[in-house]
Structure 1
C-alpha cells in the first residue's frame, strides 16, 4: 500500500468516525435546565415582587382564560408582556437581562442539567436550548456556556418594546419549526431532546432519544 493510499484510508476512517458521532442535543430551558420559570423570575428581578404580584392580580382574567384554553398560549403571553414591558427602552432592558444572567440565573440551574450539557459539549455534540422564554435573557446564559439559543423574540419599535412577539411563540410545534430552520437534521446521526411539559412534546417526538423531566429530584 502506498503512503498516499494509506493516508486516504485513514482520512475516510476519520470522517466515518466524525459522521458516526455527529450528535444534536436539544434542551428546553424553563423547568428542564432551571428549577423555576425564568419569565416570572425575570419580571420579579426587573420590576420587583410587589409590582409583579399586582400585575398577576390585574391579569387574573387573562390567566383564567389561558388555563381554560379560551385563548392560546401566545395571546396570553402578549397580554402579560404588554402589561409588564410595553414602552420599556430596549437598551436598558437588555442591560437588565445581562444583569439577570450574571446575578440570578445560575442559582436557578439544576446541577445535573448543567453536568449533562458539559458532558455533551466535551463529546463534541451540538447543543441548543429551545425556549419559549425571550432570547434576551436566555441567550446571554447560552453564550456563556457555548450553546445555541432558539427562543421567543420580542418586537421592538423605535427602540421600545411593544409587548408583541416577532414571529411565533417558541412553544409546542413552533419549537420544531425553529429547530428545522436552524439545523439540517439529516446531517446528524443522533438527535436527543430534553423537556418537561406538554409544550415540549413535539420537540421530544422529533428526537431519536427523549428525556422527560430527567433532572427532577
Structure 2
C-alpha cells in the first residue's frame, strides 16, 4: 500500500524504446527501403558493404556505420523533402506496430502518465507517428542539417545505451521526483532499464 501511495504522489514517466519494442523491426533500413529507388538501393548496398563488415567485426562503432548509411542515401536531400518522406512513412510504421506495445502506451496515457519515446533512430520519422498517437516527447538521434540540407552526419550522440539515460535525465533531471517505467528489447536499452523503477525487457 505504501508503494502505491508513493507512486500516486509522484509524476510517472513511461519510456519506450522504438525499434523492436513499439515496432517489431528496425526502422532505419525500412525507411531506406521506403525512400530510395531501386537504383539507389543497388548502388548504396555496394558502397555500404565494407562498412557493414567492419561493423559486424566490431571494428567501427555503430554511430559511424549509421552516418555512412545515412550519408549514402540522404546526404544533400532538402530537409523539407526528408520530413515529407518521414510523414508518409507513418503508413509503414503502423503496419509494424506491436499491438501489445500500443495497448500499453494507451494504458499509460489513460493513467495520465508521461509517455516518452527514446530511440537510436532519427527523430524525424518517429515524431509524425508519435504525434498521431498523442506522444509529445521524442528523445531520439538528431541529424545534422546544413543550409536546409541533410548531411548524413549525426548532430547528437547516437541515442543508444548510456545516451538514452543521458537524454532522459537531461529532459527530466530530478530523478527522485518521478517513477520511471521503461520498455526495451536489446542491449542498447540495458542502462535505461537499469535506471527504471519498473523495467520491462521484451514484455509489457
Q: TM-score, normalised by structure 2?
A: 0.91
CA deviation vs aligned residue, 1:12-68 (integer Å, no higher than 9, x gap)? xxxx78853531111000011101111111111111455335423321110111111
Counterpart position of 1:115: 103
Taking structure 1 as reference, are residues 114 and 53 closer, same or farther at Cα in structure 2, changes over 3 Å only? farther
Are residue 73 (structure 1) and residue 62 (structure 2) matched?
Answer: yes
C-alpha distance in 2 between matches for 1:193 and 1:37: 19
SS state at 1:129 partner: strand
Change (3 A) 1:50 1:209: farther
CA contact (8 A) 2:10 2:177 kept: no
Task: Say if 2:115 is the partner of 1:134.
Answer: no
In structure 2, the residue matched to 1:106 is: 94
Of 43-52 and 117-126, deviating more is: 43-52
Q: Aligned pair in 2 of structure 1 residues 31, 48: CA closer, same or farther (>3 Å)?
A: farther
1:187 and 2:159 are equivalent in the alignment = no
Q: What is the rounded CA distance, in whole Å, between the counterparts of 1:50 and 1:116 in structure 2?
A: 40
Aligned residue in 2 for 1:11:
none
Matched, 1:41 2:26: no
Q: Residue 5 of structure 1 corresponds to which residue in structure 2?
A: none
Q: Which of 126, 145, 151 is residue 140 of structure 2 equivalent to? A: 151
Gaps of 5+ in 2: none
Structure 1 runs of 4+ off > 4 angstroms?
16-19
SS of aligned partner of 2:142: strand
TM-fit CA distance, 1:87? 0.4
Match of 1:13 in 2: none
Q: Kindly state the Cα deviation for residue 150 of structure 1 after the two structures are TM-superposed.
A: 0.6
2:113 alignment counterpart: 125
CA distance in 1, matches of 2:84, 2:64: 26
When Rg is computed on C-alpha atoms for both structures, the one with the higher figure is 1
The number of equivalent residue pairs is 198
Three-state SS of the structure 2 residue aligned to 1:70 is coil
d(CA) in 2 for partners of 1:158 and 1:29?
A: 29
Tell me how large the CA RMSD over aligned residues is: 1.7
Question: TM-score normalized by structure 1?
Answer: 0.86
